[in-house]
Structure 1
C-alpha cells in the first residue's frame, strides 16, 4: 500500500497538534495551584502538611507556594493560582484588605480565610470568600474545606467539550461559553473566543450542560449562569450580551441562579 508523503506528513502533523491540545487541556485539570498567605511560618507549614497529606491520600495533583505577607502575594501572578488560603490577622495590609484588592483583579480564584477568631471571617462575605478555617488547623476540618474548594475549582474551570462546528472539530470549555442560541436547525455557541455554529438541538445540549450550571431563560437561549451579571426586569445580562427572560421561565430562572451561587458557583 502506497502512502502519499504529503498526506502522511499532514496526518503526522495533525496527530501532533491533537496530542499537544490534549496535553494542554488536561494539564490544567490535573494540577491545582494554591497560594498560602500567612506571616506565621508555623501556621503556614501546618497548612502545607495538610495539603501534602490530602494529596497523598487522594492522588490530587497540587502545587503550592507560600507568601509571608499580603503585599508579596498581590505582587505575584495572582491569575496563576486556583485557590488562596488567606490569613486575616497580618501586619501591614490584613487579609480582608488584601482580599478586596485581590477581587478587583481576580474574581474567579477560590478564597478561604484562615483565622484565630471566627467573627473576623464574617467579613468574608463582601469579598466572596468560600469558607474559613480556624487556627490551630486540624486535618479533619481542613479536609472538608479543601474538598469544597476543589469542587468549586472544577466548576470554575469547566469541562472540555468537543463541538462539531462548520469549521471542523473545536475544543471549548463549558466555562468559556456565555450562552447557546438556537437558530433553525443550528446552535450558535457564544463564547469568550467568538461564535461557533453547529448542528443539534437545544434540548440535547441542555441535558448535557445542566449539571454545569446552564439554564434556559427562554425558548431560544441556554444561559451559563456563571456569566450572569445582573437582572433588570425581563432582561438578563450575560457577559456583554443582554437577553430576554420569558415570563413563564423568570421565577424558575431566578431560583436556579440563586441555587447556583449558593453552591459557590462562579
Structure 2
C-alpha cells in the first residue's frame, strides 16, 4: 500500500486531488491510501513512518507548506515531498528540503500521475534501507546508506551520516541490531562502521568518511574478512 499524506486547507483543492488520485488508481497505478489534513501542524501531529509521499500546499494557516517540510525533514530525511502552489517561483525553497518538485494549481491529471509514478519508484528503493531511530520522545527515520559510522561514548550514541551527526537515545547494541544486513561491522566497542564508507585501512585504524577510527586488535581479522567479502560482492 502506497501512502500519501496531504496538507491542504482548501476543500475544493483537496477534493480535486482525491478525485485525480482515484483516476490514477483506475488507470494502472497501485492501490493508495490518502490521509488528508487541513494544515501542516495537523499533518505533523499524525505523521508516521509508513508515509511514502507528502503533498503540501504552500499557503496554509497555522503552519505553511515550507515550514512543514522543514519540520518533516527533521523526522524523516528521505520521504518524498511535493509542493502544491499557485506560484511558479519557489524552486530554491524546495531544493532546501530536497523536494521532488511542484504541482501548479489547478493540478492536472497528467502532472499528478507523473509525480506519483516517480514517488512510487523512489519509495520502493527507499523502504529497503530506512531504519527508525529514537531521539528523546520522537522517532527519526534514517537511510542506512547515508550512515558512515555510529559512535558511542559515555553512554551517548551518535550516528554520523553524510548529512551530519545525529545524536540518538538508543544504545549502540540496539542500533547495531537495526543495521544488521546493511553491511556494517563493529570494529571497536565504541565504533560501528559502514563497509561502504571505508576509504583506507592501516594496521591499527580505518579511515571512514574522512575520520580515522581505531580498530580493535581482536576484531581486526574478522573485520578484514568482512570487508573483503563486501568488496567482492560489489565488484
Which TM-score applies when normalising by structure 2? 0.57
Q: How many angstroms apart in 2 are the aligned matches of 1:98 and 1:196?
A: 33
Which runs of at least 4 in structure 1 moved beyond 4 Å after TM superposition? 175-179, 194-198, 214-220
**Alignment match of 1:236 (pick from 201, 209, 220):** 209
Q: Secondary structure at the match of 2:23?
A: helix
Corresponding residue for 1:193?
A: 178
Q: How many angstroms apart in 2 are the aligned matches of 1:102 and 1:126?
A: 12
Corresponding residue for 1:98?
A: 68
Corresponding residue for 2:30?
A: 60
Correspondences of 1:203-222 after superposition (within 5 Å): none
Cα-to-partner distance string for 1:68-90 (whole Å, 9 max, x where unaligned): 11111111133231111000011
The alignment yields a C-alpha RMSD, in angstroms, of 3.4
Change in CA separation of 1:140 and 1:52 when aligned onto 2, cut-off 3 Å: same
Q: Indicate the structure whose relative CO is greater, using CA pairs within 8 Å and at least 6 residues apart.
A: 2
Asked if the contact 1:37–1:73 (Cα under 8 Å) also holds between the matched residues in 2, the reply is yes
Q: Secondary structure at the match of 1:90?
A: coil
Cα-to-partner distance string for 1:113-151 (whole Å, 9 max, x where unaligned): 000001124311111111110000011111111111111
Change in CA separation of 1:123 and 1:106 when aligned onto 2, cut-off 3 Å: same
Asked if the contact 2:81–2:99 (Cα under 8 Å) also holds between the matched residues in 1, the reply is yes
Corresponding residue for 1:71?
A: 41
Specify every segment of 5 or more residues in structure 1 that has no aligned partner in the other structure, as ranges: 1-30, 160-174, 180-189, 199-213, 221-233, 243-266
Corresponding residue for 2:125?
A: 155
Aligned residues: 158
Whichever of the two has the greater Rg, that structure is: 1
Q: How many angstroms apart in 2 are the aligned matches of 1:119 and 1:127?
A: 15
Asked if the contact 2:144–2:182 (Cα under 8 Å) also holds between the matched residues in 1, the reply is no
Specify every segment of 5 or more residues in structure 2 that has no aligned partner in the other structure, as ranges: 130-142, 149-174, 184-194, 202-206, 215-235
Q: Secondary structure at the match of 1:119?
A: coil
* Structure ranking higher in helix proportion: 1
Corresponding residue for 1:136?
A: 106
Q: How many angstroms apart in 1 are the aligned matches of 2:57 and 2:177?
A: 33
Q: How many angstroms apart in 1 are the aligned matches of 2:179 and 2:76?
A: 22
Asked if the contact 2:58–2:83 (Cα under 8 Å) also holds between the matched residues in 1, the reply is yes
